[in-house]
Amino acid sequence: MLLHGADDDLSSWAREASLVERCDDLDALVVLPDGGRVGFYTDWERPDVTGVPPRWESFHLDELPALLQDRYRAGSTRVVAGVSMGGYGAIAYAAKRPGMFAAAASYSGLLHTTRRGIPTFVALMLLREHEHRHALWGSPRHSRARWLANDPYHLAGELRGTALYLAHADGKPLPGDDVPLGTRPLERWVAPTTECLSARLVELGIPATISRGPGAHEWPTWRRELDRSWPFLLAGLGRA
């Protein structure tokens, strides 16, 4: 399962990562579920602009696996990876459903959602899409338990037994990277959340592959990380 980032859709994987060619001889189902422009791979507490609370987590982790098994004879060995918002989704899903995914990879994911400043960042993303700023998990202060229950950092202990690949960059694109200027400070803002989770995993004695390097919060960086981590994902599928 590959999860897209905010302000994008599932087509980004084929458009930006040459996914069709990459998976040409892969004996596995490759699933690219929609996650909304700012769905955050969660069951929302409040309705969105359509008047209905989205239930992305329930769709991806309950309905979709059942559909894949019934219609496509999907097996029980799964891996999940995502970019940006999708990186959050990949690690959050693995933590909320221990054992569901053999491996999980995050590329520039937002992996500590209760870290200082991050709830405001999430609220601004929602407001930009004309959603209620507390639509996901309620108020960070009054609904703190719900925020903690959706924060990969605070769910870190549940990641034991899942192979993990966590990548972030330094906000400095490589020569030739065609990236908007705003993606450079964005990566510097998001990257510490991956470092926080990495440190927490060390405290808990949970192994993880950590990849740090140059790059911005954009696809040139994520393509490089996908190349590096592809053998890791294949190993999780038993295809190494």
pLDDT in tens, 60-80: 999 999 999 999 999 999 999
What integer pLDDT is reported at residue 21 of this predicted model? 92
Residue that is written with structure tokens 């596995």 in the block: 28
Coil, strand or helix at 4: coil
List, in order of start, the domains of the chain with CATH numbers: 2-237 (3.40.50.1820)
- β pairing state of 79-83 and 2-3: parallel
What integer pLDDT is reported at residue 179 of this predicted model? 92
Tens of pLDDT along 93-142? 999 999 999 999 999 999 999 999 999 999 999 999 999 999 999 999 99
- For the chain, which ranges sit under pLDDT 70? 240
Question: Are the beta carbons of 128 and 166 closer than 8 angstroms?
Answer: no
Question: Are the beta carbons of 179 and 16 closer than 8 angstroms?
Answer: no
